[in-house]
Amino acid sequence: DARAAAQHYRKAIELNPDNGVALFNLGVALEDLRMPEEAILAYRTALAADAACADAHYNLSQLYEARGEGTAALRHLRTYRKLVQA
């Protein structure tokens, strides 16, 4: 269940605030809970911990596109493509 998963990831982040994997997974759980603003924050924080997290860039591109923020969406999609081609 996404709510339990989000709680689990928040606890992991409390223990290690720079845990990019937990931050990314929190973003996924928050998306599942239909909390896009919180998911965006989680993905952005995950990227602060690990800028090479391609999936965080991709998920952000989708969330920004859904919000009508095409420029931000395109920026993250381009970064995603560069990372997966590397």
CATH of the domain at 12: 1.25.40.10
State the chain's mean pLDDT as an integer.
98
The secondary structure of residue 34, as a DSSP letter, is T
Burial class (CB in 10 A: 0-12, 13-18, 19+), 13: buried
Q: Provide the number of structural domains found in the chain.
A: 1
Per residue in 18-57, pLDDT (tens digit) is 999 999 999 999 999 999 999 999 999 999 999 999 999 9
CA distance 71 to 46: 20
Range(s) of the domain holding residue 42: 2-85
Backbone φ and ψ for 23, nearest 5 degrees, come out as -65, -45
Six-digit token string for 36: 């896009």
> What is the pTM assigned to this prediction?
0.94
